[in-house]
Copies of this chain bind each other. A is one copy, B any other.
Amino acid sequence: MPGVTIHDVAAHAGVSISTASRALRGIGYVDAGKRELVLRAVAALGYVPDASAQALRARRSGVIGIVVGDLGNPHTATLVHSIEKYVSARGYTALFTSVVDDGEAMEQKALQTMLRQRPDGLIVATLQTHISDLLLQQARRAGLPTTLIGRSLASGDFDSITSNYQRGSEILTDYLLSLGHRRIAFVGAHLSEAEHVGRLRGYLAAMQRARIKVRPDWVVGDDKPARPYYPNSLTGYRAAKRLLQLRTHPSAIMARNDVTAIGVIQAITEAGLSVPEDVSVTGFDDIPLAGFIAPALTTMSQPTEKEGELAAEFLIARLERPDEVIAPRALTLECNLIVRASSARAPSR
């Protein structure tokens, strides 16, 4: 099997290589009998077409490049899995790379590697990092079809799928307000990031609507605020520790995402307080583990798998009609409030 080529298949079937090629791809006319022969030869020889040769000649690689952020976040894993499933079912090869915080040089290199494979299209699901913006710019110049996932600001002329983070966050905030909470903190982003972080904007908007002044030290991000980062459990843990040291600590803490919320809960528990009796905690994403941690996490469920599928669908639709000029589509999905055990009425005093 090392190096079975279409020549071998053609010889085995007693046809020319072009006939073999046609039969294999069901393109053009091929005598039914000969097709059968070819298929049989393929099976007998264990022929697997060489993607490189196909790509080189056909000027299409069948590769869809997928750039994601923190694979350590189960939410990302879910997304990745859903994209892979859809993409590979449609005959494409999913090529992933995750760019997190390995340094700009490393990330640059990873993108370079991706571009060398000449992907037919790109799905980008990272935070708004310098490096990913560069990639997007390159993609645009190269006319590389691209779909964005979860970027709050739809970057101009790309297709984009996103959940309504702002709205979701507003609903979450309103929910906490309805439970009597007034001292509500937000964890996982800096105030200065509001422009990029819809979840933070939603919180701010809801608080404003409720005429509650948000104290600057109620919004706490990671220690090194330099560049976009992917908040994780440690982020939440540290932030919550800090919040609990305030003279009057918050009665509710909204975390930017579920993994961050998990860290928040941990810190609260360690401080001898309990969730939700002393402090309510909410997450965002509804990762698979969210219902299993203790206390089960109240969160906004994001249709992650749907996002992945739609992004793939949008992209592939474009790929299969290369000439057709389709206006960029920006689709926003709604999130769903999932009330579990980590939230409760505000303590009476």
Whether A51 and B293, one on each chain, are in contact in the complex, defined by CB atoms closer than 8 angstroms, is: no
User: What B residues does A141 contact at CB under 8 A?
Assistant: 1
Q: Which residues of B have CB within 8 Å of A113?
A: 88, 93
A154 at the interface (CB under 8 A from B): no
Contact A262 B115 (CB under 8 A): no
* Complexed CA–CA distance, A52 and B54 (Å): 9
Cα–Cα, bound, A272→B116 (Å): 56
Report Cα–Cα, A72/B301, bound state, in Å: 17
* Contact assessment for B98 and A84 in the assembled complex, using a CB-CB cutoff below 8 Å: yes
Give per-residue flags for A185-208: 1 if the beta carbon is below 8 A from chain B beta carbons, else 0: 000000000000000000000000
**Bound Cα distance A107, B267 (Å):** 42
Mostly, the A contact residues are: helix
Contact of A292 with B237 in the complex, beta carbons under 8 Å: yes
Contact A48 B89 (CB under 8 A): no
Q: Are A97 and B84 in contact (CB under 8 A)?
A: yes
On whether the beta carbons of B1 and A118 are closer than 8 Å, the reply is no
Contact of A323 with B by CB under 8 A: no
A37 to chain B, nearest CB (A): 21
**Chain B residues with CB below 8 A from A11, complex form:** none
- A97-129: CB near B (< 8 Å → 1, else 0) gives 110101000100110111111100000000000
Q: Are A116 and B51 in touch, CB under 8 angstroms?
A: yes
A53 to chain B, nearest CB (A): 5
CB neighbors of B among A234-282 (8 A): 237, 259, 262-263, 265-266, 269
A26 at the interface (CB under 8 A from B): no
| A171 within 8 A of partner (CB) | no
Residue-wise, chain A 50-62 has the 8 Å CB interface mask toward B (1 for contact) of: 1111011000010
A78 nearest in chain B by CB position: B72
A77 interface residue per 8 A CB criterion: yes
A153 on the B face (CB < 8 A): no
Cβ A48 vs Cβ B81 within 8 A = no
In the assembled complex, A317 has its CB within 8 A of some CB on chain B: no
Q: List 24 A-B contacts (CB under 8 A).
A: A2-B142, A46-B138, A50-B116, A50-B118, A51-B52, A51-B118, A52-B55, A52-B118, A53-B56, A56-B56, A84-B97, A88-B97, A88-B106, A93-B95, A93-B114, A94-B96, A233-B289, A259-B289, A263-B292, A265-B292, A266-B294, A289-B289, A293-B293, A294-B294
Q: Which residues of A contact B (CB under 8 A)?
A: 1-2, 46, 48-53, 55-56, 61, 71-72, 74, 76-78, 80-81, 84-85, 88-89, 93-98, 100, 102, 106, 109-110, 112-118, 138, 141-143, 232-233, 237, 259, 262-263, 265-266, 269, 288-289, 291-296
5 further interface pairs, Cβ-Cβ under 8 Å (given A52-B55, A89-B109): A48-B112, A72-B74, A88-B106, A233-B292, A294-B294
